[in-house]
Amino acid sequence: MKGLPKKLNQKLEARKANNALRKLGVQDGLVDFSSNDYLGFSKNETIFDDAHKFLIENNIKQNGATGSRLLSGNHKLYDKVEQQLCIFHNSPSAIIFNSGYDANIGFFSSVPQRGDIIFYDEYIHASIRDGITMSYAKAYKFKHNDLNDLEKRCQTEYNRSPKGTNIYIVTESVFSMDGDTPDLVTLAQLSKKHKAYLIIDEAHAVGVFEKQGEGLVQNSNIEHAIFARITTFGKGMGCHGAAILGSEKLKQYLINFSRSFIYTTALPPHSLATIYTAYNALQNTKNITKLHKNINHFKAEIKRNKLETIFIASHSAIHCCIVSGTTKVKSIAEQFKNNGFDVKPILSPTVPEGQERLRFCLHSYNSQDEISKVLQLLATFVML
């Protein structure tokens, strides 16, 4: 077999030289401050057992989907779960995709058209950037969570755009590498003012915010102002897949034109049963309550250890500590590992060079002693 082409090998060697080569790791029994399993649902035995029970009671004994949803893979469970999502998220329709990446690629590559304009937060997720790249629309980034900058850009483009130009604004309700949140209510008002279509990715908000984990859009009571919401099941919900919430017409359009929906094998029945069961589990809010107690304790411990200046302000389950330099941030992460804690370093190019960081993900199952200890260690490590 031929070796790697020279250009590709040079790119790998450059990553190695910068101490930024990515490698696959394994779960190693460390105290978890790195996963997106905010409520512990991925390891919840009741959800596991109930999903299996649900399949047996409905006489569903099928391992695979057998094809795309437009061919043979549109299992009867899809309709049941999508109806559940509509009710839970107060949305006219829902369409399930295989992953958040598929949903974002499918939406942004097919919905904005040639001549349209997309404004996106400069820190938007890579999957949205990839979808925008596949679109024929013009795309402009605005400064992170800076609605004044967005307002100026909207005014400029709206005034000089020809009739029939659609403007799309896209952001996240919780940013995955910062943990912070935009002013969603003002953003909805700005979108209405400029007749823009607002899209919000709720990946890191569902399961975390609102009474039963409905997300920040519903927490802000702005569902009516949103053109599309992207919600994923692989984080707070502890399972797999994603959905786009919007109008029935939007769903119909995506079924006909979203290539990542059309040309992929559907999720198997077991995945759908797990989503259905996980959403039912949100009726018991004890895990959400425990998560927010841990978030508040983490923030209090940041202050107690005098670490405020190196943390990005966040009310979410994601808290990031800026440690500039790949070598330094990887060294601290290794020290955490040696002390029994899994805290991941986030390196360039995932974040801008000089903005390398340690990303702490909080969970309902972290103890307050673990939270206190991990921040005590951090205070020691950053002083070395």
Strands 318-322 and 357-361: antiparallel
Rg (CA), the chain: 22
pLDDT score for 26 = 78
What does the pLDDT look like over 153-211, one tens digit per residue? 998 877 777 888 999 999 999 999 999 999 999 999 999 999 999 999 999 999 999 99
Which domains, ranges and CATH numbers included, belong to the chain? Answer: 26-44+286-383 (3.90.1150.10), 62-283 (3.40.640.10)
Residues 6+ apart with CB under 8 A from 362: 33, 38, 291, 294, 295, 298, 317, 318, 319, 371
Structure tokens at 310: 């190196």
Burial of 25 (0-12, 13-18, 19+ CB in 10 A): exposed
Q: What is the pLDDT of residue 373?
A: 97
Q: What is the pLDDT along the chain (384 residues), one digit of tens a residue?
A: 888 999 999 999 998 888 888 888 776 789 999 999 999 999 999 999 999 999 999 999 999 999 999 999 999 999 999 999 999 999 999 999 999 999 999 999 999 999 999 999 999 999 999 999 999 999 999 999 999 999 999 988 777 778 889 999 999 999 999 999 999 999 999 999 999 999 999 999 999 999 999 999 999 999 999 999 999 999 999 999 999 999 999 999 999 999 999 999 999 999 999 999 999 999 999 999 999 999 999 999 999 999 999 999 999 999 999 999 989 999 999 999 999 999 999 998 888 889 999 999 999 999 999 999 999 999 999 875
pLDDT, one tens digit per residue, over 290-318 is 999 999 999 999 999 999 999 999 999 99
Distance from C-alpha of 25 to C-alpha of 253, rounded to nearest angstrom = 39
Residue environment code for 190-207, b if the CB has 16+ CB neighbours within 10 A, otherwise e: bbeebebbbbbbbbbbbb
What is the structure's pLDDT at 384?
57
State pTM to two decimals.
0.94
Tokens of 26: 């394994």
Measured torsion, CA atoms of residues 72, 75, 81, 83, in degrees rounded to the nearest 10: 80
**Tokens at 331, concatenated:** 């060294």
pLDDT given for residue 147 in this prediction: 97
Alpha-carbon distance values, 318 to 35, 66, 168, 345 (Å): 10, 37, 27, 13
The whole-angstrom distance between residue 157's C-alpha and the CA centroid of its chain comes to 29
The dihedral sign for the CA sequence 250, 110, 192, 207: positive
pLDDT of residue 163: 81
